[in-house]
Amino acid sequence: MKNKAHHKGRMTRLVFVMAILITGLPPVISGQANSSSLAVKRTATLMGSKFDITIVAKDSITAQRLIDSAIEEISRIESLISEWKSNSEVSMVNRNAGIKPVKVSKELFDLTKRALNYSLMSRGAFDISFASLNKVWRFDGSITTIPSKEEVLKSIEKVGFQHIILDSLESTIYLQLSGMKIGFGSIGKGYAADKAMELMRKKGVKAGIINAAGDMQTWGVQPNGKQWTVGLTNPFKKRKTIKKLNLSDMAITTSGSYEHFIELNGVRYSHIINPVTGYPVTGLASVTILGPNAEICNAISTSVMVMGLKQGLSLIGQFPGYQYIIITDKGKMYKNKGQHF
């Protein structure tokens, strides 16, 4: 039986995002068209991933102070939604699964409410209770046979967004099943990018780009007057790009299967698991979504990877103003017509 595996470190989120590269951006870019401003970039490890934060400011000292504020905001969000931090609100919800509802902040309540809406729209392809999945699929090269049907069904016993109960009057979240967990790995970084950009704009930052491990939010233009240039990685040749985009006031995210997968009997199985069936998804290599909100881009790209091409295109149609590039396992590309694609 043929067995081929690709593995790069520990998976920390539901979907590994294909690398999206900012081209031509050294740590500090001197102003050209506007000599009174410059772009300053800093890289930091946040939410367990690499974040690149670039903003345009009048001087580097001001820029560094503003980047500090952006990092503080992202760290605040991590402390709120991280399932790995024992004192986070999400961890408190998880600890009380099957026991009692937990009162949470309006921010977490609203984020969870939106997540449940994504689940409804995608018919369960998107599901934050995926955090309670019992992993029976291994992508470290050790798997040689497909897990039994019984093993797969048991692995998703605690998964099911319909068991997440919200009480808007009390602002509580209750997980009905003991051992159930929620996690925001699928939209958390996009949400953090949105919130960091929102904070920067409130502080008067006219332009910048938040690259949250490939989930991006952009606004304004570079000091030379040009838009931000983003390269989309080829899922079959990761050091190559399939397209370069010039973006401003736009978010972009990519979900892909090429980072972790196995091949058994000639079939390629992605590390992305369908939360409804418990089986790895097949058919698509990558899904790139472009639109005004990074959180929504995250939710769509994650869902489409699970739903597949036909149902995925139907889902995207429910989000006017969002564009897509979908690449199948066979290398065929689908995209909608728009300003960027």
d(CA 303, CA 188): 15
Which residue ranges are tagged as binding site?
186, 302
Nearest to 17 by CA among 209, 185, 247, 256: 256
- Distance spanning both ends of the chain, measured CA to CA: 41
Place of tokens 């939010």: 217
Beta strand ranges found along the chain (DSSP E): 3-6, 20-22, 28-30, 38-46, 49-57, 102-103, 164-167, 172-175, 208-212, 215-219, 228-234, 237-247, 250-256, 261-264, 267-270, 284-291, 323-328, 333-335
Q: How far is C-alpha 5 from the chain's CA centre? A: 23
b/e burial code for range 174-200 (CB count within 10 A of at least 16 → b): bbebeebbbbbbbbbbbbbbbbbbebb
Please work out, in degrees rounded to the nearest 5, the angle formed at the alpha carbon of residue 252 by the alpha carbons of 82 and 21: 95
Query: Can you say which residues are annotated as belonging to the binding site for Mg(2+)?
Result: 186, 302
CA distance 189 to 191: 5
Q: Which of 323, 117, 291, 294 is nearest to 195 (CA)?
A: 294
Given the DSSP bridges, would you call strands 49-57 and 38-46 parallel, antiparallel or unpaired? Answer: antiparallel
* Helix axes 60-81 and 188-202, enclosed angle (nearest 10): 140
Residue 260, token pair as written in the block: 């972790």
